[in-house]
Amino acid sequence: MISQVASVLDQVPWWLIVLVKSVVVLFVILTVFAYSMLFERKIMAWMQLRPGPNRVGPWGMMQPAADAAKMLLKEDLTPSTADPLIYKLAPFISLVCAMGAFAVIPFSESSAGLWGVGDVNAGILVIFAITSIGVYGISLAGWSSGSKFPLLGTVRSTAQMISYELAMTMSVIGVLILAGTTSLAGIVHAQARLWYVVPQIFGFAIYIVTAVAETNRAPFDLVEAESELVGGFHTEYSGLRFGLFFIAEYLNMITVACIATLLFFGGWEAPFGLTVVPGLVWFVLKAALFIFMYIWLRTTLPRLRYDRLMNFGWKFLLPAATLNLMVTAAIVAFMPQ
Amino acid sequence: MYPFARAISALAKGFATTLQFAFQKKPTIQYPTVKKQHAPRFHGLHELRRYDDGKERCIGCELCSIACPANAITVIGAENAPDDRRSPGERFAGRYEIDELRCIFCGLCEEACPTDAIVLTPRFEMADYRRGSFIYSKDRLLVPPEAGRGTSPDERPGGIPADLGAVIEQKSTVSIADGYGATHRGEILKTERKGLAG
């Protein structure tokens, strides 16, 4: 039976398999996005002593559908001062880059291979490369809006993303040195005995802080600081185009949670030898924990002042990440295995 | 090192606070499916009362209209026909209109009324889509004959109840879908008045 299925699969062209996988992953990811949004609204409401959305469906479970319908029906405005082509293109750059990262993320593994669209031997680099391009979406959106608040948001965004990306990459290199590979599956396999959160606790702490800044989430959400910049880079956007930015922001959050799971928490490896539960469930649980932490962070901490954000990034996180990298490298180089 | 440790402990305290809040009981009242009791003498929507024999109490004297500080009441009296007496007196209210958007619910009309005809009920859910529909005329103000004679505030429990400020929640019979129109007579939630609520 299995050999028959395998022989049929051999005759299917490779691009068709990739296409089907991509469609499935995109569908799953967008569903996860919709419900992580509801999850955030619920958790945030509970932490603020509110019940949260509960009118649409039982426990507000249909709220994402209602939101989507609202977004679709809203008028799509373009300011007269905007650069029409770039203004319309920017949300798609954001979204495509956010979605692109999921092409190389492995979600689990079975005897047949990895559960993911592609298995790239430099997966972590591909993810960083793709998500870095996502900054263009935000930058171009603010610049092409032809309005002052989006422009200010963009200036902040570009500076913030560039300065925190350095520390973020630095904090991850420690893991790469320990694992000796840039393949995400390889890094997970290398954690079979010990999760890298233990030897790389400082790297992990720096990664978490920079990841929040990279995804423009509170308390580092100066890019869209409502009290100062109205809506930041997406002030002028309405309807579906605003929705695309919104999806991109959440997808980035999920990507960052997935990377943290893969690099520091052993991906789909079961803890305490609980291999009864499938790897995918562990992966989802670990990633969900990170998303919960994001929400918890947002409800708890107030927004940082911009100069303090930059000081923190350049004068604390970057040196700390560099030090962590040097110490890790020295230990790996001089300690006998 | 000390300020660093202090910063970490401050952060931990903050995170513990928000997490603790997440598990606390929420004070939200799920209005309109759950409602809160209000004072028995709460000043809400007006009502024109009747006598026990079904005759209207209002004699069209316009004293309420004169007393009204918001000029919300319009009364135009009419003579009672000998064969069709609407009120015990000579005159009755031919037209009686209250603009509930102008009304400040002070209750001076109630105090001015010599026959205790106009009273304020505790009903307050009057939301509507058009301004015009807030002008209540006799068809909505007058107690329908089958609904009794109407209750005067003097007949409602007075004083300050012992459980002042207590929240008494109860399931409403009004669903969200028909929440609009819930103020119309007969569909009103009938509750036993238990006391004042915050």
* ipTM associated with this complex: 0.72
| Pairwise CB contact (< 8 Å): A47 & B15 | no
The answer on B189 and B162 residing in a single domain is: yes
| Pairwise CB contact (< 8 Å): B28 & A46 | no
The answer on B185 and B105 residing in a single domain is: no
Is residue A174 within 8 A of residue A324, CB to CB? The reply is yes
**A55 chain-B contacts, CB cut-off 8 A:** 176
The residue to which tokens 């409800």 are assigned? A299
The answer on B33 and B74 residing in a single domain is: no
**A301 chain-B contacts, CB cut-off 8 A:** 11, 14
**Nearest chain A alpha carbon to B18:** A47
What was the pLDDT predicted at B164? 55
Convert the pLDDT of each residue in A92-114 to its tens digit.
998 998 888 888 888 877 766 67
Q: Please indicate, yes or no, if residue A212 is contained in any of the structural domains.
A: yes
SS3 B35: strand
**Nearest chain B alpha carbon to A47:** B22
Q: Please indicate, yes or no, if residue B13 is contained in any of the structural domains.
A: no
Total of domains in chain A: 1
The answer on B68 and B103 residing in a single domain is: yes
Q: Please indicate, yes or no, if residue B142 is contained in any of the structural domains.
A: yes
Provide the domain limits for residue B164.
Answer: 24-40+157-198
- Copy the structure tokens of residue B31: 């209005």
Q: Which of A279-288, B68-77, B140-149 has the lowest mean pLDDT?
A: B140-149
Q: Which of A10-14, A19-23, A176-180, A272-276 has the lowest mean pLDDT?
A: A272-276
Q: Please indicate, yes or no, if residue A206 is contained in any of the structural domains.
A: yes
Q: Please indicate, yes or no, if residue A71 is contained in any of the structural domains.
A: no
**A49 chain-B contacts, CB cut-off 8 A:** 21, 24, 26-28
What's this model's pTM, rounded to 2 decimal places?
A: 0.75
Any idea what the CATH number is for the domain that residue B133 is in? 3.30.70.3270
- Shortest CA gap B9–chain A (Å): 14
The answer on B50 and B34 residing in a single domain is: no
Q: Please indicate, yes or no, if residue B88 is contained in any of the structural domains.
A: yes
Other C-beta atoms within 10 Å of A77: how many?
12
The answer on B182 and B132 residing in a single domain is: no
The predicted model gives A220-235 an average pLDDT of 78
| Pairwise CB contact (< 8 Å): B28 & A50 | yes
| Pairwise CB contact (< 8 Å): A47 & B19 | yes
The predicted model gives A285-290 an average pLDDT of 89
**B176 chain-A contacts, CB cut-off 8 A:** 55
| Pairwise CB contact (< 8 Å): A300 & B26 | no
Q: Please indicate, yes or no, if residue A8 is contained in any of the structural domains.
A: no
- Shortest CA gap B16–chain A (Å): 9
Sign of the CA dihedral with B125 first, then B128, B131, and B134 last: negative
Provide the domain limits for residue A172.
Answer: 76-334
The answer on B196 and B169 residing in a single domain is: yes
> Parallel, antiparallel, or unpaired for β B73-79 and B46-48?
unpaired
Q: Which of residues 294-313 of A touch B (CB under 8 A)?
A: 296, 299-301
| Pairwise CB contact (< 8 Å): B22 & A43 | yes
- Shortest CA gap A23–chain B (Å): 36
- Copy the structure tokens of residue A214: 């990279």
Q: Please indicate, yes or no, if residue A66 is contained in any of the structural domains.
A: no
The answer on B139 and B108 residing in a single domain is: yes
Q: Please indicate, yes or no, if residue B71 is contained in any of the structural domains.
A: yes
Q: Nearest by CB to A51, from B23, B26, B176: name it.
A: B26
Q: Please indicate, yes or no, if residue A221 is contained in any of the structural domains.
A: yes
**B34 chain-A contacts, CB cut-off 8 A:** none
Total of domains in chain B: 2
- Is the pLDDT at B147 greater than 80? The verdict is no
- A55/B contact by beta carbon, under 8 A: yes
Q: Which of B15, B18, B34 to mutate to test the interface with A (most CBs of A within 10 A)?
A: B18
Q: Please indicate, yes or no, if residue A120 is contained in any of the structural domains.
A: yes
Q: Please indicate, yes or no, if residue B9 is contained in any of the structural domains.
A: no
Q: Please indicate, yes or no, if residue A53 is contained in any of the structural domains.
A: no
The answer on B162 and B189 residing in a single domain is: yes
Q: Which of A43, A44, A46 to mutate to test the interface with B (most CBs of B within 10 A)?
A: A46
The answer on B139 and B52 residing in a single domain is: yes
Percentage of chain A lying above the pLDDT 90 cut = 1
Q: How far apart are CA A227 and CA A216, in angstroms?
A: 15
- A49/B contact by beta carbon, under 8 A: yes
What was the pLDDT predicted at A82? 83
Q: Nearest by CB to B21, from A49, A54, A55: name it.
A: A49
The answer on B85 and B36 residing in a single domain is: no
| Pairwise CB contact (< 8 Å): B15 & A300 | yes
The predicted model gives B168-182 an average pLDDT of 43
Convert the pLDDT of each residue in B79-130 to its tens digit.
888 888 888 888 888 899 999 999 999 989 999 999 889 988 877 878 878 8
Q: How far apart are CA B179 and CA B121, in angstroms?
A: 19
Q: Please indicate, yes or no, if residue B78 is contained in any of the structural domains.
A: yes
Q: Which of A6-20, A38-52, A254-268 has the lowest mean pLDDT?
A: A6-20
C-alpha distances in Å from residue B159, one per residue of A220, B22, B112, B155, B156: 55, 39, 22, 12, 10
Supply the mean pLDDT for chain B.
Answer: 76
The answer on B140 and B50 residing in a single domain is: yes
Q: Could you give the residue ranges of the DSSP H alpha helices within chain A? A: 2-11, 14-47, 63-73, 84-100, 123-144, 148-179, 184-190, 201-214, 226-229, 239-264, 279-300, 306-311, 318-334
Q: Please indicate, yes or no, if residue B11 is contained in any of the structural domains.
A: no
What was the pLDDT predicted at B1? 62
Q: Please indicate, yes or no, if residue B8 is contained in any of the structural domains.
A: no
Q: Which of A107-111, A255-259, A288-292, B60-64 has the lowest mean pLDDT?
A: A107-111
- Shortest CA gap B197–chain A (Å): 21
- A47/B contact by beta carbon, under 8 A: yes
What was the pLDDT predicted at B188? 36
Supply the mean pLDDT for chain A.
Answer: 84
- Is the pLDDT at A250 greater than 60? The verdict is yes
